[in-house]
Amino acid sequence: MGFAPVKALVEVTDRSHWPREALIGLRLISPDDPSCAGIDREASLTDAAQAEDRIRFFLRDRLTRNFRDVGKAWLSAVGPCAVEVIHAELLDDGSRLFLETLATLPGPGAEVRLRMGAGDTPVTAHAPENPREETVDRLLAQVGTLPEADLDRLYEEAVQYLSVGDSWTAERILRRIQPHHDLPKVWGRLGLAHTMQGRTLEAEFCYLRWREDPDPVGVAGADYALSMLYARHHPEHLRSLDRTAEYLEHGYAALDRVDDGDDRDLTFHRVFNRNGYALVEFRRGRVDAAIEHLTAGISKLRSGNAVHRMHQTVLIYNLAQCYRRIGRVDDAIETYRELLGVDGKMPEYHMELAQCHMSNEQFDDALTSLLRARDLGPSIPEVHSLLGYTYLQLGKTAEALDAYRAAHECDPQDVEALYDYAYLLAESGQPEEALRLARSVDTGPLPAEQAVKLLTLAAEQHARLGDLAAAHSALQDVLALTPDDPAARANLDQVAAAMA
């Protein structure tokens, strides 16, 4: 099973006083940890969804956010420290990503050392015993001789891991059982695991195998998964709205082949499909048609059961996005408020409402929504970036600087967050720190627009600090990227004149 080193680290702390967001993140790493019992009451519908009801699954950015929340709570308990991992060559992907995230947390945090082989340091932390995981390991060890009931039990365990976000453990289980349990549903979940890891070509292969399911509901599920690869998840050069639409229409037609006596919730499946088609209409600029699909779907999902309530929030969110697209900001605000009435614990919803208020220049209202989003999701970089902008509009520069710093610390690899923080440092009379940040990024691999912004900022700080030669060099780099930029040419001429 995955995350054994991380579970060993977590086990040395008392989690009873960890904040809610850290316990929500801990469910991904150690879903059986007693500290997580009852956390669903404090979580959003998305976070609290059970495996059989889950329709949203987490991609890498969401996992990293979970890891930051857990890492911060863990460090607050143990203090600055060094973490040495022996036999690092055996690390599972989830543990490696967690340790990478832990090492980048701001402040005097954790120094992470990965040692190949046994090393010479005694092991001081061990993962706790877990009867469920021990059973899974035992069954996997004899997978070739297991009866169908045990193979299906392993499949259900994989589904549970997928539902909390641990696609790596789910993939290991599914790969082991697939040769002995070669069912369309196994291929479908294996495709989902690959999608969650960004391995979309492998996911497509698996979804096509799932699509061979003789059950029309399975076909519709596979078609929806394939449609979202072509709409959202594939690399940009592989995406196609036409392919998305074709898969959705095929899946919708497949549902008409379900036997009349079938007691499954076909309303949900049909609405789920049309929600996908609303995205096609939205992307094609037919926003009114998308709104019709969404409002019809919302009206059909008023039954109140768990999966309907979850999907209702997805539809309401998408409806609000449609209103924003066509400039009906007040309608979007009311729709987001309706959404928060269904699920008020999802930080992204508060953030989106704040952006609507910002569009209307209602910055006090935007601030209220963003502070709530920050309370619910303190490791979301965009929340802090929007807070920085909002504070600036309200004339609160010190608070804006703190917010931009927090955005940068949430994701040190986010170049836009780094630029925003460095720019405001420069505007606040801290050119040395602004220059340090601007020069900390290798601009070579960056898109030209980002590189130009950072190089220009660096040139300005060099000039402010009296290093005209360095400013001249940075501006030459800018002109190499944008030779027809009159502002860059004028700045370079100005610096050259000052050097003469």
The answer, yes or no, to whether residue 304 has pLDDT greater than 70, is no
Q: Give me the mean pLDDT over the 479-487 stretch.
A: 92
Banded model confidence at residue 106, pLDDT cuts 50, 70, 90: confident
Proportion of the chain above pLDDT 70, given as a percent: 98
CA within 13 Å, CB half, 127: 18
How does DSSP classify residue 412? T
Average pLDDT, the chain: 93
Residue for token digits 């919730």?
Answer: 265
Residue 51: its pLDDT value, please?
Answer: 63
DSSP readout, 5-31? Answer: HHHHHHHTS-GGG--HHHHHHHHHH-T
Residue 216: its pLDDT value, please?
Answer: 96
Question: How many Å apart are CA 368 and CA 351, to the nearest integer?
Answer: 10
Give per-residue pLDDT as tens, 139-191: 999 999 999 999 999 999 999 999 989 999 999 999 999 999 999 999 999 99
Residue 305: its pLDDT value, please?
Answer: 62
The answer, yes or no, to whether residue 112 has pLDDT greater than 70, is yes
Torsion from C-alpha of 44, 48, 50, 53, nearest 10 degrees: 0
Question: How many Å apart are CA 471 and CA 41, to the nearest integer?
Answer: 55
Residue 309: its pLDDT value, please?
Answer: 79
For residue 209, what are its two tokens? 């195998």
Give per-residue pLDDT as tens, 388-427: 999 999 999 999 999 999 999 998 889 999 999 999 999 9
Give per-residue pLDDT as tens, 325-352: 999 999 999 999 999 999 999 999 999 9
Q: Are 210 and 221 in contact (CB under 8 A)?
A: yes
* Range with the poorest average pLDDT among 51-65, 93-107, 212-226, 281-295: 51-65
Burial-class residue 434 by CB neighbours within 10 Å (0-12, 13-18, 19+): buried
Own/partner long-range contacts of 432-440 (Cβ < 8 Å, ≥24 apart) = 432/461, 432/465, 434/461, 435/461, 435/462, 435/465, 437/408
Q: Give me the mean pLDDT over the 77-101 stretch.
A: 92
Query: How many other CB atoms are found less than 10 A from the CB of residue 99?
Result: 23
The amino acid present at 48, given as its one-letter code, is A
The answer, yes or no, to whether residue 59 has pLDDT greater than 90, is no
Give per-residue pLDDT as tens, 215-248: 999 999 999 999 999 999 999 999 999 999 999 9
Residue 444: its pLDDT value, please?
Answer: 92
Give per-residue pLDDT as tens, 446-471: 999 999 999 999 999 999 999 999 99
